Amino acid sequence: MGGREVFLRYCTVAGDEVATTWEEARADLIVEGLPVRVPPTYRGQRSYPGLFWTATNDQTLVYESLLELDRLWLADFNPAVTSICTQPFQVTGRDGGGLRKHVPDLLLINDDGTPTVVDVKPAAFLEKPRVRAQFEWTRRLCREKGWRYEVFTGGDPIVLRNIKLLAVGRRPRRVPDECLTEARARLDGAETTLGKVLARWPVTCDESMWRVAVFALVWSGEVAIDLHRPANAETILRRTAGVMV
């Protein structure tokens, strides 16, 4: 399976369609563009498409299902992911004696520059030979190109719940500097609990903005919590080496 025998189509941010070979395709250009297709909406459909604002890109992306939305939450929270694109491209090529066409669900660019192609599918569908063959073909293509490939069937519900709770801090630039500075100072010592920190907000910051400031430090990676336990007043906060941008 040669990269020149497999073709890729994507849309630029201006809406222009670009056709190239798989071998010559550049992930850094694809990820900046528009979805190659927009998920349809119709009465009685089983999936729930929608729009998701990403802090990573500072823009809104379309998603095709709630499962895909979960993967977007995980990508947006992951500091190693520097750019996200949904429905990024269509790849077409021969597999054995047949022709395949496939649009992956996500394209992620990692901080080491490596692209990750993600297909999202409920685990039960992986038992279907047609689905397995499609994903194996895509996996082989990615391996030949040096890209990572992932099939996402679902995430830890506790981790996802915690990430969505922390998302109030996704826009730290909207938090007053004095609140962030005070939050850093309060968390720059021994480990403490979320309940203690939230209960003692400074006079320079109202209660709701204080919560946002604390959560912004966790979202950015400056402060860590155990995401695998439900966040509550007893959740331990500890300072890390992370730096918020």
Distances (CA, A) of 150 to 105, 118, 177: 10, 5, 39
Nearest to 116 by CA among 104, 128, 125, 107: 107
Q: How many CB atoms lie within 10 A of CB 187?
A: 20
Q: What is the pLDDT of residue 242?
A: 54
With tokens 């609140």, the residue in question is: 179
Spatial contact of 226 and 186, defined as CB atoms under 8 Å apart = no
Q: How many CB atoms lie within 10 A of CB 169?
A: 23
The alpha carbon of residue 209 and the mean position of all alpha carbons in its chain are separated, in whole angstroms, by 25
Q: What is the pLDDT of residue 244?
A: 46
Domain boundaries in the chain? Answer: 3-152, 157-239
- DSSP-assigned beta bridge partners for residue 205: none
Both tokens assigned to 27: 């992930």
Q: What is the pLDDT of residue 119?
A: 98
Q: How many CB atoms lie within 10 A of CB 63?
A: 24
d(C-alpha 243, C-alpha 23), whole Å: 37
Spatial contact of 230 and 162, defined as CB atoms under 8 Å apart = yes
Level-2 CATH architecture, domain 3-152: 3-Layer(aba) Sandwich (3.40)
* pLDDT tens-place values along the chain, 245 residues long: 555 689 999 999 999 999 999 999 999 999 999 999 988 777 777 778 999 999 999 999 999 999 999 999 999 999 999 999 999 999 999 988 789 999 999 999 999 999 999 999 999 999 999 999 999 999 999 999 999 999 999 999 999 999 999 999 999 888 999 999 999 998 887 789 999 999 999 988 999 999 999 999 999 999 999 999 999 999 999 988 655 44
90, HSE (Cβ side, Cα atoms, 13 Å) = 12
Q: What is the pLDDT of residue 39?
A: 81
Q: What is the pLDDT of residue 2?
A: 53
Q: What is the pLDDT of residue 241?
A: 64
